Amino acid sequence: YNVACMQARLGQVADALASIQEAFALRPDLIQTAKSDPDLQNIRNLQAYRSILTEIDSIESDIQDILSH
């Protein structure tokens, strides 16, 4: 997560997106933090960032479905 923040601040958008995707996959709880983290401001509105969030939400939903059965 911190690597993604640094990369985003440096304008390394592709690297920041890859790092944030990995961070969210490992720790979905970081999604809430990321919503207001000023370090991620320049990637937060990108479609690729929103796609990552959608993917994580879908995975979490699938896990919840599996666990509830």
pLDDT, tens only, 2-21: 999 999 999 999 999 999 99
Which pLDDT value is given to residue 39? 97
CB 31 within 8 A of CB 59: no
Task: Give the torsion through C-alpha atoms of 31, 8, 45, 50, to 10 deg.
Answer: -50
Which pLDDT value is given to residue 68? 87
Q: pLDDT, tens digit, for every residue of 32-47? A: 999 899 999 999 999 9
- The pTM assigned to this predicted structure is 0.83
